[in-house]
Structure 1
Amino acid sequence: MLNIPKHTLIHDVTTRWNSSYDMLERYLEQQAAVYSALTEKALKKNKDITTLSDQDVRMAEEVIEVLKPLKTLTTLMSTQATPSVSMILPLKTTVLNSMEPNEEDSPTVREVKAAIRENLEDRYSACHDFLHKCTALDPRFKALSHVDDACRDRIYNSLITEIVTMEEQSEEATGTTAVSSSPGRGHPEASESSPPVKKSAMAELFGELFKTQVGNKSSLQLVKEEVTSYTLHFTGFQPTCMVEDQ
């Protein structure tokens, strides 16, 4: 008769994400049914029963709008279909921006926004560098539009330095292995019995091509070019590489 979905009311549970949002949303959906039930003749005799005022309902609607970004965020972070660690800082920035107060906010909405901002602002501060790198390495967020230019350059320069260090360590390890396994060095018996190192299919197919392209460029130069190519593709952003050639 009321032409609303037949849903039960939801209780707020402190250990369950979004339960406050779901409780308010469900009450607003079932508001007519709740009011109709509470005003039945059999219940009117009980003077302790009260209903929400129009002001209370309006406040619930405002709070729902404030909590909606958190509902979307937690739903997105709970999915197992896509990687989520790279989304943490962009989503955090989005939520903090949505919690900025404005002149139209009621006192209650301002209090709710302030409480959410205070709770979120210092979260993940201990692992910001790691999360920034994860975000930069995700093609969906590689433009790093949630940070300023200085921070963006710092993130990519840090990645460049880390990649170069890994490349140099890999080259040193490969060089050491080649020396220790070369004829006339180390233990002859061990070198004779050791099988030759097999090249990967990629190395066999494109090894000479890679050598021709690389030329005499340093690892740092190569990494810079790769990072620049990565950031320019689809984004138009080009990092200002502050790392100097060694």
Structure 2
Amino acid sequence: MSRLGRITAETRAAWYAFVRRRTAVFFTFFFPIILILIFGALIRTDPTDGGLFAEPAGYYVASYLAVVVLFTPLSRVGSEVARHREGNRFEKLATTPLSRAEWLLAQTLVNVAVIGLASLVILAMVLAVTDASFVASPLVVPYIALGVALFCGFGAVLGRVADSQDGVIAASNGVAIPLLFLSETFIPPAMLPEWFVPFMQLSPLTYFARGLRAATYEAPTGAMVGVGETGVVGVDPYLNLLVLAVLALGFFVAGAYALPRTD
């Protein structure tokens, strides 16, 4: 079987494995909907009053997308790796022509499809329940695809170092929650201590949220967005996409290398 055939077959198997888990399907789409209803409809933004949600609603569209791009691949791929380890499936895979990189690529393609659909749901919900403005940019697709690939690789590493599926969930939450709030997602750099702002450049999620926001959101005059102008690449969406691509490649290679050959 050719490499393309192996990846296609594994992608199909991974997709069917996902859709058979009804609870996983439900919460993959239900979680972002609840998030938007809470933060978008109940806790409304107030650009005139300061506080946590001090930016216009459109500023947070990239933040909502960052949530699903961050949490879903980390937990899904990490749990899948842990599940394969517990069932000695990597030992069986080692007897087939399927390489570790091909296996991870198949998992990544499934996650790109799943999170792409979830992102459409998020955008529809945001535009339905808030007054957010959104610029339909072709850069949305590569941002989501690269962000998913990055955190799939990261999830594979967590799945290798954690000792169980429960350990993966704890580790993924321990990584994702600080990243979510200490990157340029919901909390702008202007609201953080000045000494901490340079450290935000170390988060891969910063480049996703900052670049996607620059591509899809036009800040109104007077909004608190001088946000993200620190760092080497600033707010240019193409430069942030380039950094994200380099990081995605690095994390994917690390994740493929971390996958065990045998258990």
Structure 1 length-normalised TM: 0.28
Taking CA–CA contacts closer than 8 Å with sequence separation of 6 or more, which of the two structures ends up with the larger relative contact order?
Answer: 2
Radius of gyration: which is bigger? 1
Structure 2 length-normalised TM: 0.27
Q: Which has the higher helix share?
A: 2
